[in-house]
């Protein structure tokens, strides 16, 4: 609140108002000016009070002649509202800062997660686009067992026995006979020895009529010695050297030796049997390394097959 003016000053002001400006002394003019300024300050203070603001009123420069009580702080009863308002603003700023930090952390987390998902998706897409290596496998690898022929004492002599093949499958057998011979490699069988029946002959790739004139023929597509699978070897029993002439004398436990250009593999006989020419299941692939020996049977009749199987000897 403003300190009220002294009574003497108020009386002087009232008397000064009754005079014309030309009749006023310098002191009276000065008092009228101070009174006007004080009234203006009171009006401003009233407006500040109505607006809830606080104002510290001091005497303007040049009014030092007023008594000391005219320079006084003027404050609204709610003077403490300013510090409270500042405290609320500071608290709100801290809350907003926390929200911004949390939002930034959430964005970083989403970004990292998204990168991880993108990496996984790229890896899965690459795996899905990888195609397995396909190996061509004929639907029918054989219609009849190899080495079939008419006996040398039959009319017309020894020749491929096409009568064993159903007529509608003869074109297929012809196409299988034209499979190209694989390129020679150090892993291929080059020789076979069977001590019990004194067999020691070369091994050639292919088991067609022409190949079996040269030795023991390996069926195209069967594995090399020592590898997993079923090695199919065939030879004649009554023509072209009668290589498998005494195959029926084999017994379980006998040895079959297969040679490559690098090493020797020993197989132990575990089966000797007589089958029909169409029992091609004896040529089926196997998970373990075995060798299957095939020849016509009986001697000079050749209407069946003799099949000897042997497994690879453990090293």
CATH of the domain at 213: 2.40.260.10
In a domain, residue 80? The reply is no
14-23, 216-225, 287-296: range with lowest mean pLDDT = 14-23
Helix/strand/coil for 16: helix
pLDDT, tens only, 84-110: 667 788 888 888 888 889 899 988 999
Tell me the CA distances in angstroms from 124 to 116, 127, 132, 288, one per residue in order: 12, 5, 15, 34
Q: How confident is the model at residue 203 (pLDDT cuts 50, 70, 90)?
A: very high
Could you tell me what percent of the chain has a pLDDT over 70? 77
Q: Do 105 and 197 fall into the same domain?
A: no
18-32, 116-130, 279-293: range with lowest mean pLDDT = 18-32
Domain of residue 221: give its range: 187-312
CB 194 within 8 A of CB 254: yes
Q: Do 105 and 61 fall into the same domain?
A: no
CA distance linking residue 36 with residue 32, whole number of Å: 6
Could you tell me what percent of the chain has a pLDDT over 90? 46
In a domain, residue 1? The reply is no
User: How many structural domains compose the chain?
Assistant: 3
Does the pLDDT value for residue 132 go beyond 80?
A: no
pLDDT (average), residues 260-270 = 97
Query: Which distant-in-sequence residues (6+ apart) come within 8 Å of 19 by Cβ?
Result: 28
Tell me the CA distances in angstroms from 78 to 43, 83, 266, 305, one per residue in order: 18, 11, 110, 120
Q: Do 202 and 286 fall into the same domain?
A: yes
**Comparing 93 with 141, which gets the higher pLDDT?**
93
pLDDT (average), residues 119-130 = 83
Reported as type and span, the H/E element at residue 122 is helix 81-129
CB 215 within 8 A of CB 235: yes
């Amino acid at each position: 609140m403003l300190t009220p003016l002294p009574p003497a000053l108020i009386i002087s002001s009232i008397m000064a108002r009754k005079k014309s400006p030309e009749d006023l002394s310098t002191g009276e003019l000065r008092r009228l000016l101070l009174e006007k300024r004080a009234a203006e300050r009171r009006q401003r203070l009233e407006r500040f009070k109505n607006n809830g603001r606080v104002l510290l009123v001091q005497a303007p420069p040049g009014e030092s002649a007023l008594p000391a009580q005219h320079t006084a702080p003027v404050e609204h009863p709610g003077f403490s509202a300013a510090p409270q308002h500042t405290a609320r603003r500071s608290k709100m700023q801290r809350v907003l800062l926390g929200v911004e930090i949390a939002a930034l952390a959430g964005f970083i987390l989403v970004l990292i997660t998204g990168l991880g998902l993108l990496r996984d998706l790229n890896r899965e897409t690459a795996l899905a686009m990888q195609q397995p290596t396909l190996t061509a496998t004929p639907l029918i690898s054989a219609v009849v067992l190899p080495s079939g022929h008419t006996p040398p004492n039959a009319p017309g002599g020894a020749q491929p026995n096409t009568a064993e093949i159903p007529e509608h499958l003869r074109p297929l057998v012809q196409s299988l006979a034209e499979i190209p011979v694989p390129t020679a490699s150090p892993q291929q069988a080059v020789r076979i020895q069977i001590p019990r029946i004194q067999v020691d002959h070369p091994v050639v790739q292919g088991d067609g009529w022409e190949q079996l004139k040269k030795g023991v023929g390996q069926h195209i597509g069967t594995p090399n010695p020592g590898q997993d699978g079923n090695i199919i070897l065939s030879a004649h029993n009554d023509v072209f050297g009668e290589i498998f002439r005494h195959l029926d004398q084999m017994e379980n436990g006998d040895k079959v030796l297969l040679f490559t250009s690098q090493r020797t593999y020993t197989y132990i006989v575990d089966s000797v049997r007589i089958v029909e020419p169409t029992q091609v299941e004896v040529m089926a692939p196997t998970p373990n390394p075995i060798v299957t020996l095939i020849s016509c049977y009986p001697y000079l009749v050749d209407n069946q097959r003799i099949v000897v199987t042997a497994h690879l000897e453990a090293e």
